[in-house]
Amino acid sequence: MTARLQKVPDGFTATFERHYKHTADKVWAYLTDNELLSKWFPELRSGELCIGGSMTFDMGNGTYEVMGISDYEPAAVLEYAWGEDKVRFELEAGPGGSSLRLIETISTITDHTPRDLAGWHVCLDVIEALLEGKGFGNRKHAWEEQYKVYSGLVERMRIS
């Protein structure tokens, strides 16, 4: 399911919603447990999980970006800096599984925005495959397909 991109007073939000046939605890583990996190986002690591704690992004060139956690509720909310922006995961248990909402708050749309959005889209699909015990296939190809979708979405947002 494609994210909703909306104009808000301080920029934009991209909201992804996924429903998983798994408990909130299992989904939460993929967001916070470094062993599971590395399976869907190899560059990302969790540090101390609390408000004021951090996530760390491996830039791939020997440097790391430490991103502060600004909101945290165990098994429910994880929000952290994402460069100049922020990423928020909201997780709710429900009948037959759980619902995950990822909201990226974007201060300014740039040429990199559709790349990030396509990446998040594929990451959420990979989490679902992992939860189901399935392989995902070619992530690069999946990302390229989503990049086309999000490039168009971002371009329409720039025009309006």
Q: Residue 158: what pLDDT?
A: 77
Query: Does the pLDDT value for residue 51 go beyond 90?
Result: yes
pLDDT (tens digit per residue) in 114-136: 999 999 999 999 999 999 999 89
Q: Residue 150: what pLDDT?
A: 97
Query: Does the pLDDT value for residue 160 go beyond 70?
Result: no
Q: Residue 3: what pLDDT?
A: 96
Structure pTM? Answer: 0.94
Query: Does the pLDDT value for residue 159 go beyond 80?
Result: no
* Strand intervals (E) in the chain: 4-8, 11-20, 44-46, 54-58, 64-73, 77-82, 85-94, 97-106
Q: Residue 30: what pLDDT?
A: 97
In the chain, the percentage of residues whose pLDDT exceeds 90 is: 92
Quote the CA–CA distance of 125 and 137 in Å, as a whole number.
Answer: 11
Backbone angles phi, psi at 151, to 5 degrees: -60, -45
User: Regarding beta strands 54-58 and 44-46, do their DSSP bridges make them parallel or antiparallel, or are they unpaired?
Assistant: antiparallel
Asked whether 125 and 11 are in contact (CB, 8 A), the reply is: no
